[in-house]
Structures are given as structure tokens and as C-alpha cells.
Amino acid sequence: DTAVSQTPKYLVTQMGNDKSIKCEQNLGHDTMYWYKQDSKKFLKIMFSYNNKELIINETVPNRFSPKSPDKAHLNLHINSLELGDSAVYFCASSPGGPGENYEQYFGPGTRLTVT
Amino acid sequence: ELKVEQNPLFLSMQEGKNYTIYCNYSTTSDRLYWYRQDPGKSLESLFVLLSNGAVKQEGRLMASLDTKARLSTLHITAAVHDLSATYFCAVDRTSYGKLTFGQGTILTVHP
């Protein structure tokens, strides 16, 4: 009964490949997010969807594309992987809604290593 | 651009001692969150502070928010080893959960 789950947990791939990370939440939340945590543990938001609509789209390379088939799922597809993409990617969800509490619940993370 | 700064970035404490982690942010906001991250693990929500003067306590941790000073504090009372982790504050100055995180404070509690 994991609240926010991600697959895979580890992903090792070569430069130039395309890969996807999947995220699912069973909390009934309306808003989902993708974050990147670099080697220095710095966390930066990448994208957010509210009810399948993109609401946050930070300055990330076009090679990163989020997709939300429904409000319980938010996937991240990465094209032409580069060494600098190596990081831990966290998915999160929150109840959301304008003016509401946006306390975010994080998934276990996906450690991506590009060689 | 919103900047969130924590200090100290590294904190080595003895068990039983008290200490405070500070979180300063650069622009007006009344939504601040504290998270804990254990090595190799996910982030766990600790406190949600949504108004000036908000104070929340859980066990040996107490968080407060002063929106006028743009400052939040996380106070640790009588530290125990289990509190060793990285602590992040995060500020939201939007109305849709766009969090800006501090750099994190690595706390080590030793006997």
C-alpha cells in the first residue's frame, strides 16, 4: 500500500539512450511533481501536473518530457541521455488546489546513472 | 528569484544537547515546509507552517515561522542518535506548490 511509488529504483544506461521513469500515487491527490536531486543533494523542481494539466515547467532541457495519462500517474521520459543527467529523480504528490496546503509526499526515488 | 538558505550546512552534535537550524528566504512567503532525508532514502515531511507565528512540535523537534523576518527555525532538544539525517526547508511563494528548497543541513548526533 505504498503511497507514492516509482519504477525503476535504479537505472544504469549509456549516453545517448532514451529512458522512462514511472510514478504512481494512490493518495487521491490532484497534483504531482518531478524533482531532481544532484550529487550535492540539492533538490530542484522540474515539472508539476494538476489533474493532468501541466502547471510548472521549469527550465529543463527539451530532452525531458513529462506525461500524465491520469491524475494518479506522472511519467518522465528522457531522450538522448547525457552524463549530467545522472542524479536521483523523485516523484511527489500533494492534495493541491489553489490556496491550499501543498505538503508534498515523496516517492522512493530513482537513481539514474549515465555512463 | 526566490533564494532559500540554511545554516549551518553541517552540524555535529552530542547526544543530549540542544541546537537550532535556521532557514532564511529572500522573498515574501507564508508557506514553509521542513523535510527529513535519511541517507539513500526519500524525503519525509516533518512540519507544515502556513502562517506568521506558526509553531509546530513533534517529539524533540520544534519548528517556527516568522514571515516578517523571512526566517524559519528548526529547534532540536536533547538530541538523540536517531535524529541524524539531512534536514531541508522548502518555501512556496506560489499558490500551486512550487517549492524552492534550501541546501539541506546534515545533522550528525554522536554519543
Q: Where residue A53 falls among pLDDT bands split at 50, 70, 90?
A: confident
Contact B69/A at CB under 8 A? no
**Do residues A32 and A74 make contact, with C-beta atoms less than 8 angstroms apart?**
yes
Please say whether the beta carbons of A105 and A92 come within 8 A: yes
Pick from A41, A44, A90: CB nearest B104: A41
Write b or e for each residue in B10-35: b if 16 or more Cβ atoms lie within 10 A of its Cβ, otherwise e: ebebeeeeebebebbbeeebebbbbb
Residue of A41, A90, A109 lying closest to B86 (CB–CB): A41
- Higher confidence at residue A54 or residue A5? A5
Q: In what order do the strands lie in the sheet with B61-66?
A: B4-7, B19-25, B71-76, B61-66, B55-58
Q: Which of A45, A99, A109 sits opposite B99 (nearest CB)?
A: A45
Q: Do B43 and A101 touch (CB under 8 A)?
A: no
Question: Which residue in chain A has the smallest CA separation from B50?
Answer: A101
Residues of B in contact with A33 (CB under 8 A): 97
A55 touches chain B (CB under 8 A): yes
B50 to A44: CB separation less than 8 angstroms, yes or no = no
Whether A50 and chain B come into contact, CB under 8 Å, resolves to: yes
**Chain segment B38-93, per-residue pLDDT in tens:** 999 999 999 999 888 899 999 999 999 999 999 999 999 999 999 999 999 999 97
C-alpha distances (whole Å) from A44 to each of A96, B53, B109 are 19, 27, 27
pLDDT exceeds cutoff 80 at A1: no
**Chain pair A-B, CB pairs under 8 angstroms:** 61
Q: In whole numbers, what is the pLDDT of chain A averaged over residues?
A: 92
Q: Which amino acid is at B44?
A: E
For residue B34, the one-letter residue type is W
Could you tell me which chain A residue has the CA closest to the CA of B100?
A: A44
Mean pLDDT within A62-84: 95
Amino acid at B77: T
CB-closest option in B97, B100, B103 to A48: B97
